[in-house]
Amino acid sequence: MRAPVAVNGYGTIGKRVAEAIRQMPDLELKGIVKYTPDYSVLVAYKQGIPIYVPEGKEEVFEEVGVKPSGTIDELFGSVSLVVDASPGGKGAQNKRVYVERGLSALFEGGESPDVAEVSFSTLCNYRQALGKKYIRVVSCNTTALLRLICLLDRHIGVRKVRAVIVRRASDPKEDKGIVNTVKLDPPSIPSHHAIDVKTVLPGLDIETVALIVPTTLMHVHVIHIQAKRSTSIDEVVEALSSTPRIVVLEGAKTGIDSTSKIVEFARDLGRKRYDIYENVVWRDMIKVSGDELTIVQAVHQEAIVIPENIDAIRAALRLAESAEETMKVTDKVLNVGLLR
């Protein structure tokens, strides 16, 4: 029997999580919550996804050709867990409803850490999240940092991290962002990314700086790590390659020396919306000197947290008892590692 799950919010993350849930052998998407009719609800409806709306708004959706399957209350009465993919800050407001109904819930990285019992990264603290009622899946940049840090810590030990995060200005569908400038985000050290990493790894010595640049495709991280012992490039590459969630590419040999070429690579391999679930690390941009490492990676902000969302559902509902168990299913179904 598959576990019944709802998705509250159907934007950039919500629609991807909903699609991923539909593909999983142990999960069932009972429906999504929509508050206003727009093009995204039309797409969901055409795909056969059940739409649930606030009571009294049924006619508003029917006017645009969408017949709701029922009300939000009816949906929440039929599920074990809600993935809250609402805009940042709205999840904390929605939590009251989940508490009243006794529902488990996942929140996204735009929410404050105190909305949940644990902030989550599969490779770092899966067991800590087992059976927790409220879990927060950290943001795209934090997810990418944690994957890399926790893998390296497992293999060579990590003493200190310093990172510059070059952020995309907006997602492709958004009509906002910066033009003809590089913006400090924020104009202080650390950026929120270091603080967020510490919600999962509280003892880590980490500082981050973030900049926004005029692109919509991906983020880029320049990461300096002090390891607990001397290492080599080969050992670092072997450690990073031990999971399909990190892809190591050689820019010089493949010609993939930019985020736009990574995107085209994903498109040509058939990834829907060019979704890239993996950290993309350039082997050419790994430098090791004794116990000091410099690594450069690219992060697709729209898709990288989707595998972790699926894993977090399993952790909350205890459908898998280890990171290895959940990743085996998630990665196979989503074809994580395709870009290797």
CA distance 282 to 190: 25
The sign of the torsion formed by the CA atoms of 106, 326, 19, 306 equals positive
CA distance 139 to 145: 10
List the beta bridge partners of residue 209.
Answer: 164
Catalytic residues: 140
Instruction: Please name the residues in contact with 100: beta carbons below 8 A apart, sequence gap of 6 or more.
Output: none
Q: State both tokens at 277.
A: 């679930």
Q: How many Cβ atoms from other residues are within 10 Å of residue 259's Cβ?
A: 21
Instruction: Decide if 117 contacts 199 (C-beta within 8 A).
Output: no
The beta strand positions in the chain, using DSSP E, are: 3-8, 27-33, 51-53, 70-71, 81-84, 104-107, 118-120, 134-137, 158-168, 183-184, 205-213, 219-227, 246-249, 279-282, 287-289, 292-299
Question: 221-252: string of b/e by CB count within 10 Å (b at 16+)?
Answer: bebebebeeebeeeebbebbbebbbbbbbebe
